Amino acid sequence: MPVIVVANPKGGVGKSTLATNIAGCLAAAGHAVMLGDVDRQQSARQWLALRPPQLPAISSWEVASDHIVRPPKGTTHVVLDTPAGLHGKRLEAVMRIADRILIPLQPSLFDIQATHTFVQALRQHRRAGEVQLGLVGMRVREHTRANEQLHHYLSTLPVPVLGWLRDTQNYVQLAARGLTLWDVAPSRVERDLEQWQPLSAWIGQ
């Protein structure tokens, strides 16, 4: 059962947007998906509460008193959203169960600095050889200097860039209704689905 973790210690980089859409992508492909959140605020659970029941099911996680993730029976894929400031014991707990870690970041100096430090920490972890890492550019605006700087920076990291997701209100409007790109007519989000193709392929490996 693959466990895909979406993580970056920097807040506001688009972790929840990425995590919910990964879960939606897997659910649309027929997988039994659990979406969890290691943040006490449980943003993922709040999003799931908005999700229409007729859509492909995405389960929430069950947390026992010892805070160990207990996937619902039959779960084939786990997607975990993580909070800002992920480090120490909480990072260790995530690393123990992660098979893949996706690191979203936006075209800003602060995101780049936080991501650089985080990638270094992950590559030095004792499980570094067992966990696949991937980067995703979020809220990217083409033909801007910030976007060019982000492309240049990511080209220097020994981690594959799996996608560049544009800055669009589609994600905001869908999230407000518990939806993902895979829950609406493809023609409405055609450009976004195209941007997700390499990321979807990596997720489905």
Judge whether residue 65 has pLDDT over 50. Answer: no
CATH, residue 59: 3.40.50.300
Residue span of the structural domain in which 16 resides: 3-203
**R_g of the chain, CA atoms, integer Å:** 16
Residues in the chain: 205
User: pLDDT confidence of 68, banded at 50, 70, 90?
Assistant: low
Mean pLDDT, range 174-181, rounded to an integer: 96
User: pLDDT confidence of 67, banded at 50, 70, 90?
Assistant: low
> Considering the chain, what is the average pLDDT of its residues?
89
- Residue 177 near residue 142, CB atoms below 8 Å: no
For residue 49, what pLDDT is reported?
92
For residue 161, what pLDDT is reported?
93
- Rounded to whole angstroms, the Cα distance separating 60 from 47 reads 10
User: pLDDT confidence of 136, banded at 50, 70, 90?
Assistant: very high
13-41 exposure pattern, b = at least 16 Cβ within 10 A, e = fewer: bbbbbbbbbbbbbbbbeebbbbbbbbbee
Judge whether residue 81 has pLDDT over 50. Answer: yes
* Distance from chain centroid for Cα 191: 19
For residue 166, what pLDDT is reported?
95
| Tens of pLDDT, residues 21-62 | 999 999 999 999 999 887 666 778 889 999 999 999 999 876
Domain count, the chain: 1
Partnered with residue 166 across adjacent β-strands are 140
Judge whether residue 111 has pLDDT over 50. Answer: yes
For residue 84, what pLDDT is reported?
82
- Residue 142 near residue 166, CB atoms below 8 Å: yes
Mean pLDDT, range 165-183, rounded to an integer: 96
